[in-house]
Structure 1
Amino acid sequence: MNWKKLAALTLSLSMSLPLAACSGGSASTPAPTATPAPADTSAPVETPAAAAPKLAEDGVLKVAMECAYAPFNWTQSDDSNGAVPISGTPDYAYGYDIIFAKEVADKLGCELEVVKMEWDALIPALQSGTVDAVIAGQCITAERAAQVDFSDPYYYASIVCLVKSDGAYADATGISSFEGATATSQLGTVWYDTCLPQVPGIEVLPAQESVPAMLVALDSGAVDLVVTDQPTALSACKAYSGMKMLDFSGTDDDFAVSEEETNFGISVQKGNTGLTDVINEVLAQYTPDDYTAMMDEAITVQPLNQD
């Protein structure tokens, strides 16, 4: 979007967004003999121009993500496939989330700055204004929506299980087949907090800090089962030939999850409707089939090993 169009957009939003307050200078004391002139009521009163709401600071859109959650986002050593630099590091980020981050920045006419953060730091970074948006494969849960604002969904994914292809649970036909298994998933996700407690007869081990960590736990044999979303599982099966994805969708022996726990959105600071509207304009260009095709492409070009 060129700056003339951006100015028109921000002007249309200025009636609904809070404006910055301005302070006036101190008044001087009038001379004792001065007589105030009568007010000229025929002259129009000039109203100070209102400041337009900011969609990005200084022409830079700061987007946070883990850069360790393939195929949504990952870290790589070069700019191949359209990867972009990670702020403050010599590395680059790419994945499904980067595709959309670049689209939003282009729509705003801004530069894109990718900020690498731990999962639990993403929402606080938005709340503090450290970053403008989080594009990190976040489910649009009610708990998160109470803290930040979300765009329309930009991906829909079922929740699945990952096991070793030569392990004791490779032929499981539903979540009740995992009795006696040890399991884990990523900290602060619906996979760990909502899904694992539904699996009967398992031992739930402490949550892992990241997706790579939970995959290493499964690959090393530290656990028998990992619960995750379908794109992450497909990506893991490419990176680790000994893993198998089990999808029980449509059966009576599957996880009970709400739609909000399988819809992924882009989050912004509470009340930043201007940026939310721009993001939704970008998303409106794509169909569910487009999302699937872009995710398949991300899975295809991902590095085989994640840091």
Structure 2
Amino acid sequence: MKKRLVAMVITGLMGVMALTGCGKADKQTASAADKKVLRVGMECAYAPFNWTQDANTTPDGSKAVPIYDSKYYAYGYDVAVAQKLADELGMGLEIHKVEWSSIGISLDSGDYDVIIAGMGRTAEREESYSFTNPYYYRDNCIVVKKGSPYESVTGLSQLAGTGCKVTTQLGTGWIPLLDQIEGAELVGNYETTSECFMAVENGVADVCIVDLPTAQSAVLTNEDLIIVSFDESDSFTGDDEMVNVCIATRKDDTELRDKLQGAMDAIGWNDKSKMDELMSTVLTQQPAAN
């Protein structure tokens, strides 16, 4: 009888311990699930907007952000802005590295909830995604090889009839601009801007159409390249869409879009001077530039 009573007491204690343990695990799981995280998709290969690095800090001490499911870190203008917004919203920040060609597909599939990746707001993209106001304004330019016949051009018309070989990045708003160079040879476009610049350096292409900050980033690390900015009266037309760099959410996720816009408004991120100041600082922090 005593043995049976002892066994019943032990069994009861084990049951209580098991329930207590389950309660603790459930509490931990719930706590993790309740944590608010801003999950952001970007290339991590589009300096100075975003890049990949080994260290968790930049030369000026700014904190880089771990790339999800990776041993590397991300930094750049996009990361710095994302961190400001996450801090304002009281959220953690999670960076997801993704190829540009699938950045929208991965957003739609739920791999992350927002794109902050130097994306221009275009009419075509607005059919599929919701956008905030611009968090950066950029100008467009071309990049050519130093010493080439195209180094001294000052206007779009001066490229007409030269038969120059042109390129840009796949899936961008710069592609329609290629046709504006009369008589140009289209040599194919590339997944990353780095590959575009390499094509110019190697003579596969003569001209790369790109935004000015990305071009500035390239010439910092490659002395064979030079930036050409056209006169305003003799430049590309219809490129104003690529000037507005905005944050994108899924089309129906207007709640998150509005939350991010509210955070932008709260920290005054509609001031172009603030944007330019941050971009100027970030340009000096990319690993290859130091």
Range of TM-score over shorter length:
0.7 to 0.9
Count matched residues: 248
Superposition deviation, residue 211 in structure 1:
1.1
Residues 1:63 and 2:40 are matched in the alignment: yes
Superposition deviation, residue 245 in structure 1:
0.7
Amino acid in the other structure paired with 1:180: G
Q: Partners of 2:157 and 2:287 in 1: how far apart?
A: 34
Secondary structure in structure 2 of the residue aligned to 1:265: strand
For the 8 Å contact 2:187–2:204, the answer to whether it is kept is no
For the 8 Å contact 1:72–1:136, the answer to whether it is kept is yes
Q: Partners of 1:199 and 1:118 in 2: how far apart?
A: 28
Q: Which residue of 2 aligns with 1:80?
A: 57
Q: Which residue of 2 aligns with 1:297?
A: 281
For the 8 Å contact 2:51–2:75, the answer to whether it is kept is yes
Q: Which residue of 1 aligns with 2:73?
A: 92
Q: Partners of 1:57 and 1:259 in 2: how far apart?
A: 41
Amino acid in the other structure paired with 1:187: L
Residues 1:220 and 2:197 are matched in the alignment: no
1:121-153 CA distance string (max 9 Å, x none)? 111122222211000000000111111100111
Superposition deviation, residue 167 in structure 1:
1.1
Q: Of Structure 1 and Structure 2, which has the larger fraction of its residues in helix?
A: 2
For the 8 Å contact 1:129–1:269, the answer to whether it is kept is no
Unpaired runs of at least 5, structure 2: 1-32
Query: 1:158-197, aligned counterparts within 5 Å?
Result: 158-178=139-159, 179-192=162-175, 194-197=176-179
Superposition deviation, residue 258 in structure 1:
4.6
Superposition deviation, residue 57 in structure 1:
7.4
Residues 1:204 and 2:186 are matched in the alignment: yes
Superposition deviation, residue 159 in structure 1:
1.2
1:3-28 CA distance string (max 9 Å, x none)? xxxxxxxxxxxxxxxxxxxxxxxxxx
For the 8 Å contact 2:218–2:225, the answer to whether it is kept is yes
Superposition deviation, residue 117 in structure 1:
0.3
1:52-88 CA distance string (max 9 Å, x none)? xxxx974222100000001100111111222111111
Q: Partners of 2:276 and 2:52 in 1: how far apart?
A: 22
Superposition deviation, residue 163 in structure 1:
0.5
Q: Partners of 1:274 and 1:188 in 2: how far apart?
A: 27
Residues 1:244 and 2:251 are matched in the alignment: no
CA-based RMSD of the aligned residues comes to 1.6
Q: Which residue of 2 aligns with 1:33?
A: none
Give the alignment's TM-score, normalised by structure 2: 0.82
Amino acid in the other structure paired with 1:72: F
Q: Partners of 1:249 and 1:291 in 2: how far apart?
A: 24
Query: 1:18-33, aligned counterparts within 5 Å?
Result: none
